[in-house]
A and B are shown apart, each in its own frame.
Chain A
Amino acid sequence: MKKIGLLLSILIATSAFCENKIALSGAGATFPQPFYNMAFQDYAKLKGVQVSYGGIGSGGGIQSLRDKVVDFGASDAYLSNEELANMPASVVHIPTCSGAVVIAFNLKGISQIKLNPSTLTKLFLGQITNWNNAELKKLNPTINFPNLEITVVHRSDGSGTTNMFTDYLCKVSPEWKTKLGSGKSVNWPTGIGAKGNPGVAGTIAQTKGSIGYIGSEYAFAEKISSALLQNNAGKYIKASITSVSAAAKGAIPADTRVMITNSSAVDAYPISGFTWMLLYKEQNYNNRSYNQALATTQLLYWMVSPTAQSLAGKVNYAPLPASAVAKAKAILRTVTYNGKKILK
Chain B
Amino acid sequence: MNSDKVLKSVLFTASLLILLISGGMVYSLFRGSMLSFHHFGWNFLISSHWDPTQGKEQYGALPFIAGTIFTSVLALIMAIPMAFSTSLFVAEYFHKTRLASVVNTLVDLLAGIPSIIYGLWGFYILRPFIVEIGLNPQGYGIFTSSLILAIMIIPYATSLSNTTIMMVPNELKEAAYSLGATRLEVIWNVILPNARSGIMASYILAFGRALGETMAVTMLIGNANIIPTSLFSTGNTMASVIANQFGEAGGLQLSALIEIGLLLFLITTIVNAIGKFIIKKIV
Complex: how many Å from CA A191 to CA B249?
21
Collect the chain B residues with CB atoms within 8 Å of residue A158's CB: 52, 245, 247-249, 253
Collect the chain B residues with CB atoms within 8 Å of residue A57's CB: 247-248
A-B pairs with beta carbons under 8 Å apart, 5 shown: A59-B249, A157-B247, A180-B53, A185-B245, A210-B138
Instruction: Quote the shortest CB–CB distance from B59 to chain A (angstroms).
Output: 11
Collect the chain B residues with CB atoms within 8 Å of residue A297's CB: none
Contacts from A to B (Cβ < 8 Å): 57-59, 63, 149, 151, 156-159, 180-188, 191-195, 202, 206-210
Collect the chain A residues with CB atoms within 8 Å of residue B56's CB: 181
Binary interface profile of B, 84-104, with partner A (CB < 8 Å = 1, else 0)? 000000000000000000000
Binary interface profile of B, 234-255, with partner A (CB < 8 Å = 1, else 0)? 1010000001110111100100
Q: Is there a chain A Cβ closer than 8 Å to B158's Cβ?
A: no
Binary interface profile of B, 45-61, with partner A (CB < 8 Å = 1, else 0)? 00001111111100000
Complex: how many Å from CA A90 to CA B26?
38
Give the number of residues in B that approach A within 8 Å (Cβ atoms): 32
Q: Contact partner of B52 among A63, A183, A192, A194, CB < 8 A?
A: A183
Complex: how many Å from CA A167 to CA B48?
25
Nearest first, the 4 closest Cβ-Cβ pairs linking A and B are A158-B248, A193-B223, A156-B223, A192-B222
**Are A185 and B248 in contact, with the CB atoms below 8 A?**
yes
Q: Are A187 and B248 CB-contacts (below 8 A) given A192-B138, A206-B127? A: no
- In the complex formed, the residue of B with least CB distance to A199 is B219
Q: Contact partner of A193 among B51, B224, B249, CB < 8 A?
A: B224
Complex: how many Å from CA A193 to CA B138?
13
Instruction: Quote the shortest CB–CB distance from B163 to chain A (angstroms).
Output: 38
Collect the chain A residues with CB atoms within 8 Å of residue B248's CB: 57-59, 157-159, 184-185
Complex: how many Å from CA A299 to CA B244?
34
**Are A187 and B123 in contact, with the CB atoms below 8 A?**
no
Q: Is there a chain A Cβ closer than 8 Å to B68's Cβ?
A: no
205-227 of chain B: CB within 8 A of chain A: 218, 222-225
